[in-house]
Amino acid sequence: MDNFVLKPNQSVVNKSNIFKMMQKHQFKDYQDFWNWSVTKRAEFWDETIQNLNLVFSKKYKTVLDVSTGVETPIWLKEAQLNIVDSCFNNSPQAIALVYQKEGGILTNVTQQNLENLVNQIANSLRQAGIKQGDAIAIDMPMTLEAVAIYLAGIKAGTPIVTIADSFTPNEIEVRLKIAHPKLIFTQDYLLRAGKTLPLFDKICQAKAPKAIVIKATNQAVNLRLGDVYWNDFLVSDTVFESVKQNPETLITVLFSSGTTGAPKAIPWNHTTPIKGASDAYYHHDIQKNEVVCWPTNLGWMMGPWLVFAALINKATIALYDGAPLDTEFGRFVQDAKVTMLGVIPSIVKHWKTSTCMEGLDWNAIKCFSSTGEVSNPTEMEYLMKLAGGKPVIEYCGGTEIGGGYVTSTLVQDNIPSTFSTQALGTEFVLLNDENRSSKKGEVFMIPPTMGLSNTLLNRDHHQEYFEGTPNYKNQLLRRHGDAMQQLENGYYKAEGRVDDAMNLGGIKIGSVQIEGVINSLDFVKESVAIAAAPKGGGPSLLVVYYVEVLSTLSDEERLKKAQKIITTQLNPLFKVSDLIKIDALPRTASNKVMRRKLRADYELKMT
């Protein structure tokens, strides 16, 4: 199974965006193209900006200025732009978005109609007293309205704070306190797999600011003083001139859990979407009027990524408002003629187990993409076969990168669960425990790269990413925290995290956050949470070790209580796979918990 290789389709290769660039520069070998992209970074990004037809009200003086050092590069110096203008470069009658509600019908939205809605919302924000620079929040599913609100806020110069709709009130409140939005957009209920789940109620419990509430049901909700229904908020004016800004102006606040305490608040500016759109253009080969689907949420990086990756490349966003876990979602992919389908490995595992996607016509798919978790080769090969043998673009990056650092292409052999290349315009090195270049080790980015964050709202950016990083060939390195292995064929394989963060169901969270919740259980004295790799690879398992406070509860009852508190305090999507009692947590001489040792011991036990 590990030796399965899908050869590139020569017809697809010849039409690909990568091949066009290689021909332009007379590169015969892909590796030569990648080398050029990182040794001539300014030239690469300048040409990429031209390929993407980005719109500027004032052209940049230089693409890249590193006079203050690679830790704080200046991209697109002296330019003025609003990145949303680059999202409406297609024909007014082109399909910008296609959507379907669970149990509903397929609906097309033209570029003109989407832009009109965006302008209505931008004017409505002004009418509601929201000024340029005021932050607004979105906590709702990935719908037509959510996409339009997101674009409207940026177009109006009001940064968007994005919060995933799966979070508990406690986690929503934490994020609102960090970002201080003046207004929040939400929905009365979430409709998922036949269930009606309260969302506005969670917003209220989180002590959110004034809410604009979209009705998804006919059920009554008790609005607070000042809250407004969507239809009462929206004005009719469909003309709005975008606010032109410096490229480094804040447009979005996203959250990514670090290894301690509260989540990191990561700012995106007008240059960050260029990285995602570049990855989409080259690595996912998204082209004009193709259809891009990725079940996600604006609270996760892939939500904004999807918006910009599709629209800047003049493609269609495909949105399914429901759980992507049964045949109805598969029929949506079929009927919308999706050409690029993104997944997290956990979803593919469910599809394989349930066989719910078999027998559908997915021949329109040109490629898949997988991110968020370590994938399993068997499941990825199964995914390929669902569309008659189409490649899977493995894609790994981060919110603070704005896209991927390691990925695949359509012009190279595709091998399940491996990455064929470092991302174009992006470079990293693997270092072992002795800080020497290695085929297996920790990922360190080599800046500068378009999209890399320069600041954090609630942390010291230098301390988080640069302080204490080793020197490599006289180049400053940037910490990332992933572990990778480079295989004999030059490809890469993900090996999880080296720090105390973990990816669970495509959601990144710190061990400390999980442990803080588990420690509040009456039978727990102290605990440590690890993400263990299952035998054969695939999504990480959440395993919790704990030291007992004397209790009469059975092991089964303890596991149920642990699962319940994780579900209610952190995220209902997290599953505790194992709860293990130990006499004492293993610690170093400096009293630090040895999470790596516990992870290694557990994974050894599973083999």
The CATH topology of domain 500-606 is GMP Synthetase; Chain A, domain 3 (3.30.300)
Average pLDDT along the chain, 607 residues, taken 10 residues at a time: 81 97 97 98 98 98 97 97 98 98 95 98 98 98 98 98 93 95 97 89 97 94 96 98 98 78 90 98 98 96 97 98 95 98 94 97 98 91 97 96 98 97 98 92 96 95 94 93 93 82 72 85 90 77 90 90 89 87 80 76 80
According to the model, what pLDDT value does residue 539 have?
Answer: 74
Residue in this structure with the two tokens 């080599």, named with its chain if needed: 446
According to the model, what pLDDT value does residue 573 have?
Answer: 78
Single out the residue of 128, 117, 172, 180 nearest to residue 150, CA to CA. 117
According to the model, what pLDDT value does residue 3 have?
Answer: 63
**3-state DSSP assignment of residue 254:** strand
According to the model, what pLDDT value does residue 515 have?
Answer: 87
Give CA–CA dist 405/324, Å, rounded: 27
According to the model, what pLDDT value does residue 259 have?
Answer: 46
According to the model, what pLDDT value does residue 514 have?
Answer: 87
User: Amino acid identity of 507?
Assistant: I
How many CB atoms within 10 Å of residue 404?
Answer: 28
User: Where in the sequence of the chain do the CATH 3.40.50.980 domains occur?
Assistant: 10-88+263-425+443-469
According to the model, what pLDDT value does residue 511 have?
Answer: 79
User: Where in the sequence of the chain do the CATH 3.30.300.30 domains occur?
Assistant: 500-606
According to the model, what pLDDT value does residue 506 have?
Answer: 66
Give CA–CA dist 117/370, Å, rounded: 31
Single out the residue of 407, 417, 173 nearest to residue 285, CA to CA. 407
According to the model, what pLDDT value does residue 302 have?
Answer: 96
Q: Which CATH architecture has domain 10-88+263-425+443-469?
A: 3-Layer(aba) Sandwich (3.40)
Q: Is residue 531 within 8 Å of residue 503, measured between CB atoms?
A: yes
The set of residues, in sequence order, having a beta carbon less than 8 Å from that of 154 and lying 6+ positions away, is 82, 83, 84, 160, 251, 252
